[in-house]
Amino acid sequence: MAKPNWKNRTMWTGDNLDIMRGMNSESVDLIYLDPPFNSNEDYSAPVGSETAGAAFKDTWTLSDVDEAWHGEVVDKEPALYAIIDAAGLSHGKSMKSYLIMMAVRLLEMRP
């Protein structure tokens, strides 16, 4: 197993794609994935709770997706992109955006 290029018990914040691309992949044993679910809802912590003010949007548009990600999926997995494109036609642009966002991350995790 290769030596990690980070300290044990490191916690990262930010886009996990950028983080994964900076990691020594040969040193990773396990990836736990807890993605957003494309629920088309906005969430926020209740007023008065310890996390009051925390919020996130679980809706997706093409403006949420980096244009380069389209090309990456097309280049690396054209059959997958065809499926994603078909899902976009049948379920809308929001679903296509979500699937592209997930695809580039799942492809990055693949050995």
CB–CB of 88/65 below 8 Å? no
pLDDT of 83 above 90: yes
Find tokens 């993605």 and name the residue.
35
CB–CB of 60/84 below 8 Å? no
pTM flag (> 0.85): no
Integer Cα distance of 70 and 66 in angstroms:
7
pLDDT value at residue 101: 92
